[in-house]
Structure 1
Amino acid sequence: MSINRSLSRVPMKISTLVMLFFLSFGTQVFAAHPDVSDAEEAIAAGKSIFNANCRTCHRLDQKNVGPALRGVTDRHSIDWTKRFIRNSQALIASGDAEAVAIYNEYNQLAMPSHEFLSDDELLDLLAYIEYGDKADASAAAAGGEGGEGVAGGTGVPSEYLTIILGVLVLVLFLILVVLGLIISILNKYLDTQKLEEDDKQFVNQKYDFGKILKSDAFIIIITTIVIALVAKTAIDELYTVGVQQGYAPKQPIAFSHELHAGQYEIQCQYCHTGVELGKSANIPSANICMNCHMHIQNVGGKDGISPEIQKIYNAVDNDQPIEWVRVHNLPDLSYFNHAQHVVVGGVECQTCHGPIEEMEVVYQHSSLTMGWCIDCHRQTNIRFEKNEYYDKLVQLHKDSKEPLKVKDIGGLECAKCHY
């Protein structure tokens, strides 16, 4: 297939990208991989390969555990790059000067081999390395259109009710003070006037505060206020039964999400493997940790391994699971499916779990109450783009003027979550 014919099959924006792709890689890329007629598709495939195999140690435009990758085909030939990705250790052992230089520059860290990648997959990976995330950045900046809802309560939070009650008491007190000042001023004014004896006695009468405090009206007012405060406190406490918002248990290993998910940008799906496959996100096993930590050990502790990483080695050596403490718990009467929300709904992890990439110690960010979930279903727009799951739904509601929300497709039905 000729280059011109390939370009005629894609939109103008993609055509430009294909031309840049051609200029960067040269004719050898197309000769080796003639099926790359859709650059956008190749880059998308390469991104999946990169996230699954490279993202832990590499970034496109900055150094991480390994070197920045963008521009690698300018620094090295494509054939050499493919050989290095497949088995860098074999290339280093052969005495290749470029491979040895990289190996020494990065503290002789051994890069895992990727001999399972085909030539086409390697070319897709290189396509993403050269042009990936440039388009993603603009898409992310425009994100939010199309309606990713954020779960938030429509009711008045308990803290606000407390503030409102306090303000009302303060206003009442100020009103009483103002009335007292007005009465005092009026008394002084009337003292200067010529009044009959009965009027003078009325104006100058003294108030018996003891009688006021013992009066039925005062007792009723105070009793009502006390009952209201006690009732509010009791209701607030009842609403918190079973709610563990802010719960941050101590874990057997001091794992930092801020370091792994934040600084190193390791995707949640890499460790929590079930999040796109089923109901549970899965707590990672020690073997998943060892995928990285057999190469990254951190200096310190016994045999140059940090004490926390040593605990992972001990678990593997003793064939014992790491007993992580579960942070997010739903009652047994509730059903929640991660795959349904993450894959079909396109919900980001941070929507429910908060800024997980900023947490040194993970805590429960959201309340995860029934009301919190319902508010999310009421506000979240359904994402139809590139989602075949909803094709039939789009046809049935093609004349709808308002964007469809989760509540419109049964998101508020009891049986959806309680079974």
Structure 2
Amino acid sequence: MPFPRPPESCSSALSLWPLADKRPLIDAEWKPCLGLLVGALDTVLDSNARVTPFRILLQIPGSQTSWVVASGAAVEEVNKHWDWLVHNLLHSLSVFENKEDVASFVRGKVKGLIAEDVRGRQAAQEEDPEKFREALLKFELHFGLPSSEKLVTFYSCCCWKGRVPRQGFLYLSINHMSFYSFLLGKEVKFVIPWAEMTRLERVSTGLMTEAIRVSTRQRQREFSMFLNLDETFGVIGQLADIALRRLLDSGGLELDRVLQQPTRITKRWVLEQAIREYALALFRLPRAEKLHEVAPCSVWTPHARCHTAGTLYTTDSYLCFSSREEGNCSLLVPLSEVLSIEKAESTSPLPNPVIVSVRTKKAFQLIDLPDRDELVESMNYRLRSLQWKQSMFRSRKDGKRKVVRVMSELIPVTFPHAGC
């Protein structure tokens, strides 16, 4: 991407910068140590300012305002931006007679390139980049939301108005749920902010298959005909929860790092977050626990004398297992109680077995683990880290006890005589 920043206007104070090079239509300016006054002004006006030493400015003769179209930390970086301008932009400026039109064209071109680059990076994170890019363009065209509103995912569905279904697309973004339909010449579109949602539920009526009902204080909306209703319902619930947590951030709620940077929220992350929330609630684990692996497997259950199929969840400090049949078998093993995690010889009755030994001289046998080698290596890494932390804590604790014992031997103790 040739432009790391959108065009910004600069005040006349920026003319204090010494010029490193001046070229037709665009000026390349350099700000060394002599520009400390301007740097101080930038910092005062914008506490988050990150002043780069090299910038390319679009400057119109007779105007006191310049537009920053590129910046860099080195001359080489700015020269690359300039070369791109020469080959892709400057040759088309000769058709303009008005210099103000030149400035407007350059600003619009740079903003368009940045927007296209953002769309490309967002689409690259999805399973079908081309399809997502097309949906992103339609989302921006139909709803006109701020450019900072990141589209997370979209679904084809029907929105019901009474007994009439409207086929269209449901767009789920960071702060809004949006629906658009154009059928038989009639356009239907609306936007629901997550902060206004009061209730989310799955309903079923005689007129439609199972649907998702979204309620606000003003009205209710019902959506159906999803290819995967479970996934859609989970993503909507997660995005609504994220919006609420971000809203409460002003009240001192500590957010995850990803939530502090909404542009990093993707559909994949939302689905992973849903699994994490489910695991923490199922095993009542601390909120700070991070979910690492989720793998189908079977565990040996002595009371039933057979292996029980289910799912293994591994976190920072725990190994958890839940049977496929809810309530049949549940296992919670703190890593602090684990002595070793070892692979056993694989046989036809016991494929890919793993033995987890604990301090109570017992062991748990897991089989049918996919990617067993990577899973065991990851669990052993966390186990060794935890054991090292425990040994360091014990050594410090023993050291403090020795100091207290020595001090008690050095301090004489006297007792008053009787009658004093």
Higher helix share: 1
TM-score, normalised by the number of residues in structure 1: 0.20
Whichever of the two has the greater Rg, that structure is 1
TM-score, normalising length: structure 2? 0.20
More strand by percentage:
2
